[in-house]
């Protein structure tokens, strides 16, 4: 089974450098252009798939519609792909977070990804969601050697990628996932473990586009 992880194109929240989480920001014009550029890149390189799943949040869904529509198909909604719930931090800029929640702004890199303190998702809850999604997709697609596409978000895609290619799954693994980055993971049985290898990790800049992101520290 091949899994193509795709992060959505630039959203209004990205452009405003806001913590998005489950907040439903639409794509910007640049975000739609990024999605079209990704679709063209995949077509040129003959990257095809059997099924395309997408988060129901509009920035991911609109990205998936571009990819599917260019091939005469439609995405399939997958609620488990939604971004990590950031609780009270959602909608805030890093400046806002620093002023209102300085304990989050001061966190170390191995303390990120857990929003339970702020009314959002805890780290273990996110890991459970990612694990259950991986197990379900494996059960549905492994036997047929399908290639599937998952269009989602920077935070949750990062957790999925770690789970697919790392054993044990580390708390921290630095991987930049800019807007419309595409990551192809090929799953294999290796010494009794079904685990993936990264075939390519392609940022939109290498497709001739621009990321437009001004705040890498603001996640997702």
Local structure of residue 73 (DSSP, 8 states):
-
Whether residue 140 lies in the annotated active site: no
Token pair belonging to 14: 């990205």
Distance between alpha carbon 94 and the CA centroid of its chain, in Å? 20
Nearest partner of 6 among 40, 45, 28, 39, judged by Cα: 39
Phi, psi of 177 (to 5 degrees): -120, 85
- Catalytic member of 10, 33, 78, 83: 83
Whether residue 8 lies in the annotated active site: yes
Q: Is 152 helix (H, G, I), strand (E, B) or coil?
A: strand
Question: How far apart are alpha carbons 166 and 132 in whole angstroms?
Answer: 16
Nearest partner of 141 among 7, 4, 3, 46, judged by Cα: 3
Furthest-apart CA atoms within the chain: distance in Å: 51
- Catalytic member of 8, 10, 65, 90: 8
**Residues annotated as part of the active site:** 8, 83
């Amino acid at each position: 089974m091949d899994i193509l992880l795709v992060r959505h194109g630039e959203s209004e929240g990205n452009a405003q450098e806001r913590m998005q989480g489950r907040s439903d920001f639409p794509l910007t014009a640049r975000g739609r252009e990024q999605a079209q550029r990704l679709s063209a890149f995949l077509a040129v390189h003959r990257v095809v798939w059997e099924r395309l799943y997408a988060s129901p949040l509009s920035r991911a869904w609109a990205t998936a519609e571009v990819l599917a529509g260019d091939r005469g198909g439609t995405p399939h909604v997958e609620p488990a792909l939604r971004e990590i719930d950031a609780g009270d931090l959602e909608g805030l800029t890093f400046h806002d977070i620093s002023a209102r929640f300085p304990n989050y702004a001061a966190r170390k890199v191995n303390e990120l990804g857990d929003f339970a303190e702020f009314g959002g998702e805890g780290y273990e809850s996110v890991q459970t969601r990612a694990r259950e999604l991986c197990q379900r997709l494996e059960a549905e697609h492994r036997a047929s050697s399908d290639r599937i596409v998952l269009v989602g978000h920077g935070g949750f895609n990062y957790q999925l990628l770690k789970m697919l290619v790392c054993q044990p799954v580390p708390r921290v693994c630095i991987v930049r996932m800019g807007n419309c980055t595409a990551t192809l993971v090929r799953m294999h049985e290796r010494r009794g473990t079904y685990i993936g290898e990264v075939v390519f990790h392609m940022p939109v800049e290498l497709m001739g586009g621009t990321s437009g992101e001004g705040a890498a520290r603001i996640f997702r």
